[in-house]
Chains A and B, each alone.
Chain A
Amino acid sequence: MQVLPWLILLLPLFAAVGIALGALPAHRRGVAARLSVGAAGLAFLLSVLLWSSGTQGEQGFLWLAAGALKVEFGWRLDALSVPMLLVVTGVGGLIQVYSLGYMRGDKGFGRYFAGLSLFTFAMEGIVLSTNLVQMFVFWELVGVSSYLLIGFWRERPAAADACKKAFLTNRVGDFGFFLGILLVWSLLGTVNFTEMSAVLQRQPEALGGLATLAGLLVFCGAVGKSAQFPLHVWLPDAMEGPTPVSALIHAATMVAAGVYMLCRVFFLLDVPGSVALEVIAWTGIFTALLAGVIAVQQDDIKRILAYSTLSQLGFMVLGVGLAGGSHDPAPAMFHLTTHAAFKALLFLGAGAVIHALHHQEQNIWKMGGLASKMPVTFVTFGLATLALCGFPPFSGAYSKDAILLPAYEQGRYGLLVLALTGGFLTALYMFRLVFVAFLGPAKSQAMDQAAEVRGVMKWPLILLAVPTVLAGGWGIEGVYRRAFGAAEPVEAVSWFGQIIAPLTHAPMVALLAFVAAAGGAFVAYRLYWDALTDPLPDKLGTPAEWARRRFGFDELYARIIAGTQDALAGLAAAVDRWVLAGAVVRGGHGLVELAGRVLRLVQTGNLQGYVTFFVAGTVLLLLFVLTR
């Protein structure tokens, strides 16, 4: 069993290297596909084996050690990492299969699968990491694979800009993350999760007055990777990548890595004297609402889903922030897991639509009537929408309910109301999307040719619909709860018991959440059923315009960067050119040359002149010596 985690981790890497070295040309696409999909599928099967064997523990070898720093490279299996591994390899495997169809005609087929395999490797690395530095290494590798895949169609300026923006925005978060690692290391003396947690258990005050700062610096990493406000701007642009990439990396797994990381280091956040969790909760809910509002006024099918992802990530981060004390962040992981299934399904559905429209059209106001043309896509997309909006008995209802519950129990009604508003917005923008793109009248000629996807693209949709519908009753939250020290449940709860649990536990929360979602769906029905254009800008005016323009964050940041870093760079370059290289070097050069020219005047070769200078010098010296 000890060899399994190594295999799971390294198989995708071998696939990536193998493709990069030998299967990039178009005529070897078969090899590339077999390598990549094979590695992903095998990794999933081995993960299932690992899960069923119940292996737990930690293993690693020394990777980097000097002075007081000791970094291991290894794996850690527990109730947090093993289910997450199943999510990554399971969803990842299905999306790779789907990609076989979606990317069929692309010149860069091999390169695409090499990128996906590299991503799978890096993501599994994050999940299995035993320490902060190893996690940071894979954190960066995930970032670069995301960069490569967003910029997959690199000759398109929009894609090239988007990948650069994604990487740089993430780097800002990583900057904070790295400083957080340094700070935690210097306070606790180790970067290993087990050891850090042991130190904190012995001495809860070990972080001292820097506890909040340490927690927030580490949180910076999650803000970047999980695209929380104020670093949320990169994720919508990341939709320039191929749609399966958006599904896997920018919806299901990589962007959730921030949430996973927060859960992994939860013991650092939940220490006495730290208000980090409070900040995390408010960041999450603010992101959830901001993105929800923006999503209502977007027209590009993928961008709507991207903002929806932002919003849901906000809910997960809220779930982490609400933990502490008697609550653990298992609800965040629960929502991460269900979200991975239904959001991947939504993106793959959007991909099916885009594929059916020959990659020409992504504006929902040019679509319409797709439900009858693409029934499988419509049904699965609809199920995922219901799950996302939180209608029981679909999976999303339970995970969202789990996040709301602590807010209710802790009496934080402000957060609860805001979260319910978020739920309302979710239903509004999702039903807007479904009504306009799938149900309403066809709004352009292109819809006539749309046809259902087949084969490798259809089955992943159907398979992903299974957890989308059922995962609420699988007891996922209980599994994660064990990672935070909860005991094994005494008696197994039946599937039906799980399904009705919210009603028996806190019927108020379940009811409110349902009302909020139903309200959103109803408003969407009134506004968008059979609509040909968006009525909201006329009704709301300026606020709608702001939402459409995403509240101008991109422009604001561009201006800030231009005003600070770029201005400084300009100044430094000018100083370098004119002062250091110009004045100092050329000036020094000039001075030497001037001295040479002046002295040359003296070297006349005239004997009388030399004698005169000699005598004058002697007189001066004599004067100096004698008058002292």
Chain B
Amino acid sequence: MAWLSFIILCPLVAALLIAVLPRNLRVLFRVLAVTATALSLAGALTVFFSFQTGSDGLQFEEYHPWIELLGAGYHLGVDGLNVGLVLLATVVAFAAACLAWEVTHREKEFYLLLLLMTGGVIGAFAAFDMLLFFVFHELALIPTFLMIGIWGRGPDRDYAAFKLTLYLMVGSLLVLLGLIGLHAAGGFRSLDMVDLQAHLAIDPAPVAWQRTLFGLLLAGFGMLVALWPFHTWAPTGYAAAPTPTAMLHAGVLKKFGLYGLIRVALPMLPEGARTWLPVLAVLCLGNILYSGLVAIRQRDLNLLIGNSSVAHVGFAFLGIASLNVLGVTGAVLVMVAHGFLAALLFGLNGWLHQRFGSTEMDRFGGLLVALPFAGTLLAMAMLAGCGLPGFAGFPGEALVLFGAWQYSRVLTVLAAWGALILAAVYMLRAIRTVLHGPLPEKLRGIAADVQNPWQRLPYALLLAGLVYFGVWPRALVDKVQPAAAEVVARARSWAAVPGSSMPSGTLLAGNDPEPGGTP
């Protein structure tokens, strides 16, 4: 059975159905959205748990020729790098669909866009054709703009939507240019990632060309993931976005950039990677330290979560920049962990906003007592956010730090400061302000917890994801590691490129040998 197509098509077919139904069938839209995403989720669970750990190559592969002229095909598949992301995408999509009840006007359009976005984002992660990869991403991105513009909230909505659109459009454009460049480097024969990768391994692109393309892709993918200093769209954008959109974008769609770097840029452009990764290693500290510090100063929960999310993806960048098996495996783990975490935090934050009309932290206090369910979940999510073992963030960040230590000790010390101290400072300050302490008089009457089990389910599911991969990281690590090892091997094959003259050991690289080299 074509599981991946099934997973992608469920939401898209549901979107089509909603498009043709009359607009007053509100309940039906909701049921359709929840059912479609639930089916996708079931499919993704099947794929994830029947994935053959340890075997090479793509699994659940599907291929149909598409545009022969360009060498584009409908090519889907999963390997270790994306099998977790596909699962993540469906879990978050299901949770987002469940939590879309907060939208009360123009539901038809909202659910339509949400389902398009869902189909797009899953497709982008499952695609092994660069055109398909890009088109699916745009299919997810454009609904994001519309949803923020139409259903967004807050006084700065227009500015935030405008800024986010601008950044992400520019990012996509750069990515497009980079992908076209890769197509050209492969002699315009194929857009298929597997083919192109094999081709470039034998016949690599010239060094200058590689450096240019990698720079383009790094800038483009970087903007899509809010790489410092292109990050300012993220906190304000998420603050203005409706809850399901923020969950899907921050949790899943944003990972597209990181995934693209690992899937496309690293293995196909080793010489470019060698030139640019030291730059990335420095920029990611901007995410980890600078955005961590900015998060400390936020007085609004939404902006705090937004900035913390920017800080967390810094660890994925750091893992990529270290370019070893530990780092890249850790980066993938961080992506999945952060996906569950960001979706959970934005979901809870949206619920608070819906209930209290604002997320300014000083207005709150004592919510743990007043709202046992929502408060406890928020507290757990925040503890997960400061890298507590037992939640998926810990193995991810730990692997990244172990990998980064082999690359540069100075960077690792600074990043560990961000992981262990800064994250704990802003998360615990938020818990202290929002959840602990006495309940303010004004909130006495209106504080009512999440009661309905159907409303509790999405939060519980996201938390379950965090705990599952936190307690048993091998469920993911064993799948990721072989694929990550292959990417690293390809990206480190720069010696094969003619004319590469860069001195080894750039700026910050410590050039540690693998530990344990001594008997």
Contacts and interface: CB of A to CB of B under 8 A. Distances in A.
Nearest to A70: B516
Contacts of A171: 386, 420-421, 424
B437 A155 contact: yes
A189 B515 contact: yes
A175 B416 contact: yes
A164 B431 contact: yes
A187 interface: yes
A572 interface: yes
Contact of A63 (B290, B386, B432, B474): B474
Given A67-B324, A67-B325, A144 B383 contact: yes
Given A155-B366, A581-B232, A185 B515 contact: yes
A572 B294 contact: yes
B473 A185 contact: no
A556 interface: no
Contacts of B484: 66
Interface stretch (A133-141, A310-318, A508-516): A133-141
A433 B431 CA distance: 36
Interface in A175-196: 175, 178-179, 182, 185-190
B398 interface: yes
Contact of A572 (B293, B325, B514): B293
B282 interface: no
Given A179-B416, A572-B290, A189 B517 contact: yes
B441 interface: no
Interface in B380-416: 383, 386, 388-390, 394-395, 398-399, 401-403, 405-406, 412-413, 416
A168 interface: yes
A69 B326 contact: yes
B293 A66 contact: no
A154 B420 contact: no
A206 B518 CA distance: 8
Nearest to A186: B515
Contact of A66 (B383, B420, B481, B518): B481
A230 to B, nearest CB: 15
B355 interface: no
B413 A179 contact: yes
A571 B297 CA distance: 9
Contacts of A69: 326, 399, 402
A203 B518 contact: yes
A490 B326 CA distance: 50
B227 to A, nearest CB: 13
A568 to B, nearest CB: 5
B353 interface: no
A126 to B, nearest CB: 12
Contacts of B386: 171
B326 A133 contact: no
B49 to A, nearest CB: 19
Contact of B402 (A151, A185, A202): A185
Nearest to B307: A576
A62 interface: yes
B53 to A, nearest CB: 13
Nearest to B406: A186
Nearest to B333: A66
A174 interface: yes
A212 to B, nearest CB: 16
Contacts of B325: 66-67
Contacts of B372: 24
Nearest to A159: B436
B428 interface: yes
B389 A569 contact: no
Contacts of A64: 395, 398-399, 473-474, 477
Nearest to B470: A137
A361 interface: no
Interface string B426-467: 001101100111110000000000000000000000000000
A483 interface: no
A65 interface: yes
Contact of A154 (B236, B437, B474): B437
Interface range, A side: 35 or more
Interface string B186-197: 000000000000
B390 A585 contact: no
B372 to A, nearest CB: 8
A470 interface: no
B390 to A, nearest CB: 7
B368 interface: yes
Contacts of A189: 515-518
Contacts of A66: 325-326, 329-330, 399, 477, 480-481, 484
Contacts of A65: 474, 477, 481
B294 A174 contact: no
Contact of B390 (A24, A141, A569): A141
B229 interface: yes
B439 A168 contact: no
Nearest to B417: A175
B159 to A, nearest CB: 9
Interface in B84-127: none
Contact of A140 (B326, B388, B473): B388
B490 interface: no
B512 interface: yes
Nearest to A172: B421
A573 interface: yes
Interface string A352-382: 0000000000000000000000000000000
Interface string B271-298: 0000000000000000000110110111
Contact of A141 (B389, B395, B417): B389
A501 interface: no
A552 interface: no
A155 B231 CA distance: 36
Contacts of A187: 515
A154 B371 CA distance: 13
A576 B432 contact: no
B326 A161 contact: no
A572 B436 contact: no
A444 to B, nearest CB: 28
A133 to B, nearest CB: 7
A154 B368 contact: yes
Given A67-B324, A206-B518, A573-B293, A182 B402 contact: yes
A530 interface: no
Contacts of A163: 436
A164 B430 CA distance: 10
B199 interface: no
B163 interface: yes
Given A66-B325, A585-B163, A160 B436 contact: yes
A566 interface: yes
A10 B505 CA distance: 47
Contacts of A185: 402, 405, 515
Contact of A168 (B329, B428, B515): B428
B425 interface: yes
B516 A190 contact: yes
B440 to A, nearest CB: 12
Contacts of B298: 573
A163 B427 CA distance: 13
B369 interface: yes
Contact of A576 (B294, B421, B429): B294
Contacts of A202: 519
18 contacts: A64-B477, A66-B326, A68-B514, A68-B515, A140-B388, A144-B383, A154-B369, A154-B437, A171-B386, A179-B413, A186-B406, A190-B516, A202-B519, A565-B296, A569-B296, A571-B293, A573-B297, A584-B229
Interface of B: 162-163, 166, 229, 231-232, 236, 290-291, 293-294, 296-298, 324-326, 329-330, 366, 368-369, 372, 383, 386, 388-390, 394-395, 398-399, 401-403, 405-406, 412-413, 416-417, 420-421, 424-425, 428-429, 431-432, 435-439, 473-474, 477, 480-481, 484, 512, 514-519
Q: Which 5 A-B pairs have the closest CB atoms?
A: A189-B516, A160-B436, A67-B325, A573-B297, A572-B293
